[in-house]
Amino acid sequence: MEKPGWVTNRRPSLRISELETNIKEQTRILEFSQAEFGDQQGTVRTLQKSEIDLKSIILELETSVENLKQRVNYQEDYNRRKNIRITGLSESRNGDTWEQTVIEVSTLLQNKLQLPPMKIERAHRLVVARHGGQEGQRLLVPLLRVVPVLVYAMVLLAVLMW
């Protein structure tokens, strides 16, 4: 059985030299590991900063998308295809306010067509020329968020009012 180096008859200076070499090698490995660890820490910091920047960009894009959705909804709300033209709805002698007209149109849509209550932003009275040079009134009602069934209802309403 072999005895450990410190027990053998080797010279102490040789053993010290081996230990110094071993310590230098371990120091070199440790320095390399520390340098690599430092590089990785730098990479982590860079990635964390990039993540923060990307989150900020994503938030801006989400806000922009939401704004665009609102703008599209606004444009759809005022699209002419969603307007109903109603004739034959008389105006009171004192003149109707637009609130009264909206209530009257809502009631008409619910009673005549059995449609659920819907959001009507406003109703405009338009003066139109009739046969024989007489002026008549037509009501223009832009509807918000028209459902497909309402398109058929508008045609039916036009027939009922005609």
Which whole-number Å values give the CA distances from 35 to 13, 31, 38, 40, 41, in the listed order? 32, 6, 5, 9, 10
- Residue 144 burial by Cβ neighbours in a 10 Å radius (0-12, 13-18, 19+): middle
Which tens digit of pLDDT belongs to each residue from 100-152?
Answer: 777 777 787 788 777 777 777 666 666 665 555 555 566 666 666 555 555 55
Which tens digit of pLDDT belongs to each residue from 33-71?
Answer: 999 999 999 999 999 999 999 999 999 999 999 999 988
Work out whether the CA dihedral 94, 89, 111, 75 comes out positive or negative.
negative
Please tell me the predicted confidence (pLDDT) of residue 120. Answer: 72
Domains in the chain: boundaries: 1-77, 82-161
Global pTM value: 0.38
Q: Measuring CA to CA, which residue among 155, 135, 151 is closest to residue 143?
A: 151
